[in-house]
Amino acid sequence: MAVRTRMKRMLKSSLQSFGMMRGPALALKPEPIQVAGRGRTALVAGGSGFIGSHLCEALLARGFRVLCVDSLISGRLRNVSGPAFAQARGQRRFRFVKHDIQEPLRLRADFVFNLASPASPPHYQAHSLLTLRTGSEGTWNLLNLAERSGARFFHASTSEVYGDPRVHPQREDYWGHVNPIGPRACYDESKRYAEALIMEFHRKRGLDTRMIRIFNTYGPRLDPDDGRVVSNYIKQALRGEPLTVYGSGRQTRSFQYVSDLVEAILRVMFTPGLEACVFNVGNPGEFTMLEAARLVQRLTGSRSALVHQPLPQDDPVRRRPDISRIQAALGWAPQVPFEKGLEETIAWFRKEEMGA
Ligand code: UDP
């Protein structure tokens, strides 16, 4: 082998081990999963939220009848009012049900997806009690509905179950490092409780349950006002305002594009034999918040400065998923690099949110 080729390989593998390669961990290029939804009903709780609305759209495209249940605390009706939704409504395949899952539901479905919860730190902290009840009683109510209907149950858990992790990258068998009385606990602990509850519904009542832990996700339909880092930076850059970097900006996150996540959700829900599974789903490319800010500056062509603001309490220092479990089980790997996904997201913000 030529020396240059060998050097290149060595450099690549050392960059990978230091987390410097920012693309997907493996160059897997799987075909999207084929699912026949005709004649089957999927209930999506949180269906008009950022991720929920993309999931509803993917289910409609595969022929499902979709019941979108949302309290509109953080979901937005505009997320489910585009042409795909209007057409499905006309065919009586899409129904929006305004309902808070804290209260029992009388609906039936073949597949129940639980994505209901405020999910950005400022949002869940502003609605802390509601967040706790949504994760606990809300999950109970959806599990009961699934049991009554004989449905399969999917739950969107979170990388927050790992808290401010002492193990890096995070694998599913890491139990986490969560402050149970801190400002993030309302979200973290309600999600941890939900995981425990779901496992007991599986063990004691035989329900077919599937869970994923979602790492930071971004894309079109991110609420510009929910205070997440990607939406904040893009909004600030497009308005010519300073980009707010919390703390030193050296804390890291791994950002996954929403289409990669939706593909993983479909695979986890519709692959036979995955009862009681839990998978990390995220893009292992790891970025500091300073790097993310500079990337947004460059891609928007913004001259906005960076301004440092205090780091929120209990803000995790490092976060990166180990996705080897889902790669091995389902051949899934993220396909969209951060830069490419950011371009799409910025284009959407320009058109839909900023009127530019
Ligand atoms: N962050 C930031 N500027 C912002 C918003 C957030 O530097 O305007 C930081 C925040 O402190 C955290 C990271 O970006 O370290 C990701 O924050 P986000 O709220 O998006 O999600 P989290 O992963 O903390 O739930």
Q: Which residues contact 298 (CB under 8 A, 6 or more apart)?
A: none
Domain assignment present for residue 10? The answer is: no
Q: Which pLDDT score, from 0 to 100, does residue 64 have?
A: 98
- Residue 24 clears pLDDT 90, i.e. is over it: no
How far does the centroid of ligand 1 lie from the alpha carbon of residue 247, in Å? 10
142 alpha carbon, distance to own chain's centre: 19
Q: Which pLDDT tens digit goes with each residue over 166-196? A: 999 999 999 999 999 999 999 999 999 999 9
Considering 124, 162, 174, 187, which one is annotated as catalytic?
Answer: 187
Q: What is the CATH number of the domain that holds 230?
A: 3.40.50.720
Atom of ligand 1 nearest to the CA of 311: 11
Q: Which pLDDT score, from 0 to 100, does residue 16 have?
A: 38
The count of other CB atoms within 10 Å of the CB of residue 220 is 21
Which one of 186, 235, 236, 289 would you pick to mutate in the ligand 1 pocket, going by the greatest count of ligand atoms within 8 A of its CB? 289
Q: Is residue 254 a contact partner of residue 287, using CB atoms and an 8 Å limit?
A: yes
Q: Which pLDDT score, from 0 to 100, does residue 218 have?
A: 98
C-alpha dihedral sign at 143, 140, 116, 245: negative
- Kind of pairing, strands 209-214 and 152-158? parallel
- Residue 69 clears pLDDT 80, i.e. is over it: yes
How far does the centroid of ligand 1 lie from the alpha carbon of residue 228, in Å? 6
How far does the centroid of ligand 1 lie from the alpha carbon of residue 42, in Å? 32
Domain assignment present for residue 199? The answer is: yes
Q: Which pLDDT score, from 0 to 100, does residue 34 have?
A: 87
pTM metric for this prediction: 0.92
Q: Which pLDDT score, from 0 to 100, does residue 22 have?
A: 56
Domain assignment present for residue 193? The answer is: yes
Domain assignment present for residue 19? The answer is: no
Quickly state the pLDDT bin for 79 (edges 50, 70, 90). Answer: very high
- Residue 7 clears pLDDT 60, i.e. is over it: no
* End-to-end CA separation in angstroms for the chain: 52
Which one of 246, 256, 290 would you pick to mutate in the ligand 1 pocket, going by the greatest count of ligand atoms within 8 A of its CB? 246
* DSSP conformation class of 321: B
Closest CA to 60 of 82, 75, 78, 77: 82
68 φ, ψ (degrees, to nearest 5): -100, 110
Hey, which residues does 98 pair with through a beta bridge? 70
Average pLDDT, stretch 62-89? Answer: 97
Which helix (H) or strand (E) is 232 found in, with range?
helix 229-239
- Residue 17 clears pLDDT 50, i.e. is over it: no
Instruction: Tell the residue number behind the tokens 């002492």, with chain if given.
Output: 166
Average pLDDT, stretch 307-314? Answer: 98
- Residue 318 clears pLDDT 70, i.e. is over it: yes
How far does the centroid of ligand 1 lie from the alpha carbon of residue 264, in Å? 24
Hey, which residues does 288 pair with through a beta bridge? 252
Atom of ligand 1 nearest to the CA of 233: 8
Q: Which pLDDT tens digit goes with each residue over 229-267? A: 999 999 999 999 999 999 999 999 999 999 999 999 999
Domain assignment present for residue 33? The answer is: no
| Average pLDDT score, the chain | 92
Quickly state the pLDDT bin for 6 (edges 50, 70, 90). Answer: very low
Q: Which pLDDT tens digit goes with each residue over 26-60? A: 455 667 788 989 999 999 999 999 999 999 999 99
Rounded to whole angstroms, how far apart are CA atoms 163 and 178?
Answer: 4
Q: Is residue 297 a contact partner of residue 342, using CB atoms and an 8 Å limit?
A: no
How far does the centroid of ligand 1 lie from the alpha carbon of residue 229, in Å? 5
Q: Which pLDDT score, from 0 to 100, does residue 350 have?
A: 97
In the residue annotation, 246 being an active-site residue is answered as: no
- Residue 19 clears pLDDT 70, i.e. is over it: no
The count of other CB atoms within 10 Å of the CB of residue 42 is 26
Which helix (H) or strand (E) is 101 found in, with range?
none
- Residue 319 clears pLDDT 60, i.e. is over it: yes
Query: Nearest residue CA, atom 4 of ligand 1?
Result: 229
Residue 42: both structure tokens together: 């999927």
Half-sphere exposure of 140 (CA within 13 A, CB side): 10
Domain assignment present for residue 21? The answer is: no
Average pLDDT, stretch 326-346? Answer: 98
Q: Which pLDDT tens digit goes with each residue over 107-121? A: 999 999 999 999 999
Domain assignment present for residue 7? The answer is: no
Domain ranges, residue 74: 40-353
Query: Nearest residue CA, atom 11 of ligand 1?
Result: 246
Rounded to whole angstroms, how far apart are CA atoms 183 and 121?
Answer: 9
Q: Which pLDDT score, from 0 to 100, does residue 355 have?
A: 64
How far does the centroid of ligand 1 lie from the alpha carbon of residue 133, in Å? 24
- Residue 71 clears pLDDT 90, i.e. is over it: yes
Atom of ligand 1 nearest to the CA of 251: 15
- Residue 11 clears pLDDT 70, i.e. is over it: no
- pLDDT above 70 as % of the chain: 91
State the total domains in the chain. Answer: 1
Q: Which tops the pLDDT comparison, 142 or 31?
A: 142
Residue 53: both structure tokens together: 């609305």
Around ligand 1, the residues with Cβ closer than 6 Å are: 120-121, 216, 228-229, 232, 244-246, 251, 253, 289, 311-312, 315
